């Protein structure tokens, strides 16, 4: 089934425990629960949805290592090529001898690149960039309601799906 053929119906809930319990109930009825949109994190929701562990920590590590590498490269360039100083015959870039001098710059650059990289990754992954129209399913889904996205086929009986979702505890149903 391609992305163009996927159709979703939405169950709107007003309690987080009811949403978590409804996932198992609806799956046992043969419905495919794809996502839950929540105004706050719900403990155990990712396990109930069967989501794999996120790879976001790998991205943070890569951004941090980029910042660390750029900081060391910058300090090497400054100490060797840009403004090399001969002080008592000591080497200009003795990283192992002048470690305390290099730590603050290296740490701050690592944190700067990791933080900015993670913000950019979040904005790209969440599709909340400037100029992108948000997909608002329910006006209160960011306040106190929970939206469950259920994937259905084109020939599915929506009245049956609606009755199953409402029996699971939904206060509203949108197709």
Band of pLDDT at residue 2, cut at 50, 70 and 90: low
Domain span at residue 17 reads 7-39+141-174
* Predicted structure pTM score: 0.71
Are 66 and 106 spatial neighbours (Cβ–Cβ below 8 Å)? no
CA 34 from centroid of its chain's CA atoms = 16
Number of domains in the chain: 2
pLDDT band at 79 (very low <50, low <70, confident <90, very high): confident
Helices marked H in the chain: 16-28, 45-49, 56-77, 99-126, 158-167
The neighbouring-strand residues paired with 172 are 12
Assess whether 101 and 62 both reside in one domain. yes
pLDDT over 60 (residue 40): yes
Distance CA 12, CA 169 (A): 9
pLDDT at site 25? 92
Q: Is residue 18 part of a domain?
A: yes
Q: Is residue 121 part of a domain?
A: yes
- The percent of residues in the chain predicted with pLDDT above 70, rounded, is 93
Looking at per-residue confidence, does 155 or 5 come out higher?
155
| Mean of all residue pLDDT scores within the chain | 88
pLDDT at 11 over 90: yes
């Amino acid at each position: 089934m391609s992305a163009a053929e996927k159709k979703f119906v939405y169950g709107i809930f007003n309690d987080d425990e009811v949403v978590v319990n409804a996932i198992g109930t609806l799956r046992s009825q043969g419905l495919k629960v794809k996502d839950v949109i929540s105004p706050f994190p719900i403990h155990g929701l990712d396990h109930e949805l069967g989501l794999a562990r996120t790879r976001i920590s790998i991205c943070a590590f890569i951004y941090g290592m980029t910042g660390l590498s750029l900081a060391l490269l910058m300090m090497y360039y400054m100490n060797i090529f840009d403004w090399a100083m001969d002080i008592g015959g000591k080497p200009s870039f003795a990283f192992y001898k002048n470690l305390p001098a290099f730590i603050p710059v290296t740490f701050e650059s690592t944190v700067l690149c990791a933080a900015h990289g993670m913000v950019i990754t979040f904005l790209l992954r969440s599709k909340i960039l400037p100029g992108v129209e948000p997909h608002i399913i329910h006006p209160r889904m960011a306040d106190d309601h929970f939206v469950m996205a259920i994937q259905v086929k084109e020939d599915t009986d929506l009245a049956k799906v609606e009755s199953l979702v409402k029996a699971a505890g939904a206060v509203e149903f949108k197709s």
